[in-house]
């Protein structure tokens, strides 16, 4: 049995991509000096017992990461902005 079989060639012509039915959203985080200072204060206020109490390095890291990301996401929340998608026309022969 040969593994070198020829596959059929698919040719596509005159494709027009239509608009998305759902609005597209751009995600961003607004970071400024005030928010950075708040983030640092929240990290300092955090009680890190859950990180230090576990002896398993994997659990310790996961605990740290969860706590850190929680504070990060609260300090720098994601903002969503709508933007329109352009119609894309493709020509292939």
Any domain includes 7: no
pTM check: above 0.95: no
- pLDDT-derived band at 20 (thresholds 50, 70, 90) equals low
Any domain includes 10: no
* Residue 31 domain boundaries: 15-90
* b/e burial code for range 7-39 (CB count within 10 A of at least 16 → b): eeeeeeeeeeeeeeeeeeeeeeeeeeeeeeeeb
What is the structure's pLDDT at 21?
A: 63
Any domain includes 2: no
Any domain includes 77: yes
Residues 4-22 have a mean pLDDT of 58
Count: domains in the chain = 1
Any domain includes 71: yes
Any domain includes 1: no
């Amino acid at each position: 049995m040969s593994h070198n079989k020829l596959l059929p060639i698919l040719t596509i012509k005159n494709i027009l991509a239509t608009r998305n039915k759902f609005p597209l959203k751009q995600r961003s985080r607004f970071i400024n000096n005030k928010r950075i200072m708040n983030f640092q204060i929240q990290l300092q206020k955090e009680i890190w017992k859950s990180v230090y109490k576990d002896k398993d390095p994997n659990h310790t890291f996961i605990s740290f990461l969860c706590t850190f990301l929680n504070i990060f996401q609260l300090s720098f929340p994601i903002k969503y902005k709508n933007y329109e998608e352009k119609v894309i026309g493709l020509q292939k022969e």
